[in-house]
Amino acid sequence: MQDISLHLLDIIENSVRAGAKTIRIRVINDEIANLLRFIIEDDGCGMDSDTLQMAQDPFFTSKAEREKKVGLGIPLFKQNAELSNGHFTLTSEPGLGTVIRADFENNNIDRLPLGSLKDTLLGAIVGHQEVNFFVNLISKNKGKEQSFHFDTEVIKEELGDIPLTYPDVIDYIEHSLIEGIQNTNMEDV
């Protein structure tokens, strides 16, 4: 993976394949703690303890053989977090969903760039309109905290029968994400 936003996209796709109807994404940039944290929670099918362990093995996949021979997404995400002096946790319960937390040391030379958070989130939201996305971006800097919250469930209620793929809706979502990312200084991470 070239950047962290591509890891995020991979985890979102895993959640969708696991049948998630709700995906919560929190990105916290804590400059005081020198920390960039990602927390992705879903209500998908979850994993038992054996599958949970195997999911972190680069030679395991739950996909059909014809789709992909190995599942590198979670192991690479974990490796990249740990290479940047960060941490990675994966918790899950069958029927209840999965939570992934990846911490990156912000100023570590081995930390991947964030990449295009806007493109990743926009593509996921528009590409999976059957899923409710709750996005929280939080930036902490010198005692000042800025946050941005985005909830597709509210947008869907307001739109009624209009799909998220309608051009004006895509523009609205894109501009909302751009504004939220700028207001929380995530483009500079």
Give the pLDDT confidence of 47-58 residue by residue, as tens digits: 998 888 888 776
* CB environment 60-94: b (16+ within 10 A), e (fewer): ebeeeeeeeeebbbbbebbebbeebbbebebebee
Compute the distance between CA of residue 126 and CA of residue 105 in angstroms, rounded to an integer. 31
Percent of the chain, pLDDT > 70?
92
Q: What is the pLDDT of residue 66?
A: 43
Of 52, 46, 111, 53, nearest to 84 by C-alpha is 111
Q: What is the pLDDT of residue 189?
A: 80
Q: What is the pLDDT of residue 53?
A: 83
**Least confidently predicted of 27-31, 55-59, 158-162:** 55-59
- Total domains in the fold of the chain: 1
Helix, strand, coil percentages for the chain (3-state, nearest 5): 35, 25, 35
pLDDT band at 188 (very low <50, low <70, confident <90, very high): confident
Please say whether the beta carbons of 75 and 48 come within 8 A: no
Query: CATH number of the domain that 134 lies in?
Result: 3.30.565
**Least confidently predicted of 55-69, 94-108, 133-147, 156-170:** 55-69
Residue 99 DSSP label? E
Of 100, 109, 136, 108, nearest to 121 by C-alpha is 136
Note the pLDDT tens digit of each residue in 59-88: 655 555 444 444 568 999 999 999 999 999
111 lies in which domain range?
Answer: 4-188
pLDDT of 172 over the 80 cut: yes
